[in-house]
A and B are shown apart, each in its own frame.
Chain A
Amino acid sequence: MPTKVPVSAWVNETPVTFACEPRQSLLEVLRDELSLTGTKLACDGGNCGACTVLLDGLPVNSCLVLAVEIEGKRVTTIEGIAPADGLHILQQKFLEHTALQCGICTPGFIVSAKALLDHYPNPTEQQVRHWLAGNLCRCTGYDKIVRAVLDAAASLRGVQSGRSAVKEP
């Protein structure tokens, strides 16, 4: 059995140290060693984006990153997106726009979209569609996801979107 290697990093702003086999992906360690199952296992081959996390602020497919590579780095997973007292505005807008059905792709989309808005606070629809092209969704046809991201961007900029579509209960 391969020898385990100790790795120290920050995950969701918390310092963590774990031992892993060199062949283990970041995805596997997040899910199976650190119990962070919000990062979803789907294609396990870098094709679908369901396992997207931020590595030093940039989105990566965690299935394509070896866990040993995160030594000394900062990882943000879906569990680290929301503020302590509620939901991130992207999470709120995904709910308001019904931008999910089965939801398996949703954590990956929200993490990717957060990176987009961190870099481009005022994206066009085309920018959103290009940036999110690495995240597959089979349920929604993307329409409501794109709306949710544009609306979240507007909210973050403090603009009244005029498209708060949800009828309040």
Chain B
Amino acid sequence: MPVVWIPSLLRSLTGGQEKVSVSGETVGQVIEALEQRYPGLRARLFQGDRLRPDLSLVVDGDMSVRGLLQVVKEDSEVRFIPAIRGGS
């Protein structure tokens, strides 16, 4: 199952868990599965129906711009890191 690294500020929702394994074939499905297990988590990651613009999605070490549609594999690692904005 894909592994999601939980940002430290959200670990109060996961009982302190740093890494959580949940099923899903896309990042959207993975977040749905997380929400089932830890209600409230989705809202913290979302702006409206998308990922927050100040978070970068990193899957298997690569920055993704596909957001919730990004495909994940059985052994994928999913991270949400603060986005470095373009210096405006």
User: A and B touching (C-beta < 8 Å)?
Assistant: no
